[in-house]
Structure 1
Amino acid sequence: MKTMLFRSFIELTNHRLTSSMLRCFSRSKLSKPLIKPFATTFQLKEFEMSKALSEYEHLHDLFIRELKPGVRVTDKEHQSMVSPVDGVLAQSGNLDNETLFHVKGQTYNIEEMLGTQEAAKPYQNGYYFILYLSPSHYHRIHSPVDGTIIRQWKLGALSYPVNDMGLRYGKKPLSRNYRLITEVKVDGKQLAIVKVGAMNINTIELTHEGNSLKKGEEMAYFSFGSTVVLLFEHGLISDVDLKENKEVMVGQKLANLDRKEETS
């Protein structure tokens, strides 16, 4: 019953008109009076921001804020894989039965997440990370590795919330929400960076040009809190030693990659 009520409420409020209205409001000067209360409510760290709160023109400007140079330091070890976002490491582990993982009582199949069996094939029996961003977090996404972009594609349309309630009672939001997938070659193996949209302000914007990625380099931004799922081909990831539900920051080492010198 709780699941049915939650989904019914979301479906009544999560449609194009509502999303469009919220998007327009967040990008208008009408939202500026909400900047300070938003920052207070979510305990934003103004000392990290590239400009003062008073300089943001609207809420969207604050959502996609940049940080001061040097506030985040990217781990320089050649073998390290780093967090692409500020957020919470909600879960990580090996994929079960080649393509499955489980979150909050729901089973996800990466074939559904990536769109096709062919797209999922490189990640069978691989490893995954789920990184959740709340409205309080810095919303820009950075590359977790040095590598080469193979392709990028979009799937899904509307989005359920990706917070605890959404993951428990939504319709598998990590694999059905609007999402933008970037596939990266790392030493002949593959990594999929799945950027999952959040309810209503359902926008993911790419900021990176070209196919070459450097670890720590900015790739994109969310317009509101959301989730990043990292999928690693079997044998690419090792030495994961992090507790779940732990806060992580952009550039922080999450694991090691079994890297060799990259070849074309």
Structure 2
Amino acid sequence: MTLRTTLGRLGAQEDLNFLLTNRLPRRLATQAMGRISRIEQPWVRDASIALWRLFCDVDLSDAKEQRFASLHAAFVRELRPGARSVDPDPAVAVSPCDAILGAHGIVEAGQVLQVKGSSYRLADLVQDQALARAHEGCAYATLRLTAGMYHRFHAPADLRVESVRHLWGDTWNVNPIALKRVEALFCRNERAVIRVRLPDGAAMTLVPVAAILVAGLKLGFLAEGGDLRATGGRTIASGADLARGAEMGWFEHGSTIVVLAPPGYTLEPALREGARLRMGQALLRAPRDTPQ
């Protein structure tokens, strides 16, 4: 098989993947999946979970429960106690979720990489010019949750949530194929902007981005977190204090979290794009002169 033939086949596979996950009516497919995933009738539940496990890399061995009322319950499963080890070093901020590390780097001229060779404006992602300027020159990391991964996300450090803003959007798939083909994809999808303050006074921003099939995200620490869409995009003050590793919320399907680091924080040196992360693993390291 020639290189040209191999590349042609790979291109055809990408075309088919993109067609099936993005060119079909995304909102309609997402609404339909949301309804089907919540059906508790045993044969529907068992068949849908079996299909999910067939097409996705799913490991339920660390789940708190081993039997689920529906596919949705399996999506948003909790972990059994002790299933994740949270790095206790106060000089690091940990990964808030299980994920694959995607594009990362430094915010430069207001731009953030989506994939190599393609960037987007941070101000378009957070819909706040002042917040985007505050992260200029800071590190960022894109964390992708695949459909089979644990879907809940947690506090990356001891922190206080200062505010949350829900931003309505589309339901594009966020897999690597779509990221290569859809300009500023994260700025198009439904998302939330969560501003937090760390014990050293540093400000961090987490941007969970929802995606196709179920979509939606929930924030357990916020009274309005069960129905963010009803908040109308207004900024909601919080003041919730969360300990390192405490649950913050969950996606109703796999998606992405863009982590915008405080000034001076750097990505953990050993991490490389494509690395698989576990919730609680060191992600960012504070500057050495930061008081702990």
Fold conserved (TM > 0.5)?
yes
Cα deviation, 1:12-62, whole Å, max 9, x if unaligned, reads: 4112x332222111111254022134234434223211122xx21111000
Which position in structure 2 is the counterpart of 1:44?
Answer: 58
Which position in structure 1 is the counterpart of 2:38?
Answer: 27
Instruction: Name which of structure 1's ranges 93-102 and 190-199 shifts more when overlaid on structure 2.
Output: 93-102
CA pair 213-127 structure 1, distance change in 2 beyond 3 A? same
Which position in structure 2 is the counterpart of 1:260?
Answer: 291
Which position in structure 2 is the counterpart of 1:240?
Answer: 269
For 1:70 and 1:134, the matched residues in 2 are separated by 22
After TM superposition, the structure 1 = structure 2 runs for residues 115-194 of structure 1, keeping only pairs within 5 Å, are: 115-186=127-198, 187-194=200-207
Structure 1, unaligned stretches of length 5 or more? none
Superposed displacement of residue 151, structure 1: 0.7
Q: 1:200 aligns with which of 202, 209, 213?
A: 213
For 1:35 and 1:239, the matched residues in 2 are separated by 36
- The answer as to 2:249 corresponding to 1:224 is no
Superposed displacement of residue 149, structure 1: 1.1
Cα deviation, 1:240-264, whole Å, max 9, x if unaligned, reads: 3311101110001123123435xxx
Which position in structure 1 is the counterpart of 2:119?
Answer: 107
For 1:7 and 1:109, the matched residues in 2 are separated by 26
Which position in structure 1 is the counterpart of 2:78?
Answer: 66
For 2:181 and 2:278, the matched residues in 1 are separated by 28
Superposed displacement of residue 238, structure 1: 5.9
CA pair 191-60 structure 1, distance change in 2 beyond 3 A? same
Instruction: Name which of structure 1's ranges 40-49 and 154-163 shifts more when overlaid on structure 2.
Output: 40-49
Q: In the comparison of the two structures, how many residue pairs are matched?
A: 257
Conserved 8 A contact 2:268-2:282? no
CA pair 21-41 structure 1, distance change in 2 beyond 3 A? closer
Instruction: Name which of structure 1's ranges 41-50 and 169-178 shifts more when overlaid on structure 2.
Output: 41-50
CA RMSD of aligned residues (A): 2.4
For 1:118 and 1:163, the matched residues in 2 are separated by 29
Conserved 8 A contact 2:155-2:243? yes
3-state SS of 2:61 partner: helix
Conserved 8 A contact 2:197-2:203? yes
Amino acid in the other structure paired with 1:72: R
For 1:164 and 1:48, the matched residues in 2 are separated by 27
Please report the TM-score for the alignment, with normalisation by the length of structure 2: 0.80
3-state SS of 2:30 partner: helix
Cα deviation, 1:180-213, whole Å, max 9, x if unaligned, reads: 1111112232111000001131110111255112
For 1:190 and 1:143, the matched residues in 2 are separated by 13
Amino acid in the other structure paired with 1:152: V
Which position in structure 1 is the counterpart of 2:68?
Answer: 56
Please report the TM-score for the alignment, with normalisation by the length of structure 1: 0.88
Superposed displacement of residue 120, structure 1: 1.1
- The answer as to 2:92 corresponding to 1:80 is yes
Instruction: Name which of structure 1's ranges 245-254 and 154-163 shifts more when overlaid on structure 2.
Output: 154-163
Conserved 8 A contact 2:213-2:253? no
- The answer as to 2:263 corresponding to 1:249 is no
Conserved 8 A contact 1:88-1:247? yes
Which position in structure 1 is the counterpart of 2:232?
Answer: none
